[in-house]
Amino acid sequence: MGFENRYVVPFFAARLLASIPVHAHAVDVTRAGGQIGGHVETPQTTGAFGTTHGLRVVIPPSFEPKIGVRGSVLFAVGLTHLWDGIESVMVVGFGSGGEVAF
């Protein structure tokens, strides 16, 4: 979701995901050097919820009227909450990029 204008476009996105094992069975996840079968686990249902907030800044001058090309720079921060039924963690990510729209 964003608010379109000619200069600075704030945007927001949200996502929800779930990973549900199909036909889950026990797996040996022992680290290298450990005794085989020392750590056996069965995959659990996991999930996440995340949001991204950012700005798209149009690079002046906009070439749109002349040749139909628009350039902009994007800056965003994302928050993602991951959980697996036993523990959860919040992850923060930052990003930037460029855009050329024809």
Q: For position 90, what pLDDT does the model report?
A: 96
**Domain assignment of residue 12, yes or no:** yes
**Domain assignment of residue 33, yes or no:** yes
- Exposed e or buried b per residue across 27-65, where buried means at least 16 C-beta atoms within 10 angstroms of its C-beta: eeeeeeeeeeeeeeeeeeebebebebebebebeeeeeee
Separation CA 3–CA 12 (nearest Å): 10
**Domain assignment of residue 17, yes or no:** yes
**Domain assignment of residue 40, yes or no:** yes
Say what the pTM is: 0.65
**Domain assignment of residue 2, yes or no:** no
Residue span of the structural domain in which 46 resides = 8-101
Separation CA 60–CA 83 (nearest Å): 43
Q: For position 63, what pLDDT does the model report?
A: 58
**Domain assignment of residue 41, yes or no:** yes
Report the SS3 class of residue 8.
strand
Amino acid at 33: G
Domain count for the chain, please give it: 1
Q: For position 66, what pLDDT does the model report?
A: 64
Q: For position 78, what pLDDT does the model report?
A: 96
What is the full per-residue pLDDT of the chain (102 aa) written as tens digits?
A: 666 677 888 999 999 999 999 988 888 888 888 788 888 888 889 999 999 999 999 887 655 566 667 788 999 999 999 998 889 999 999 999 998 877
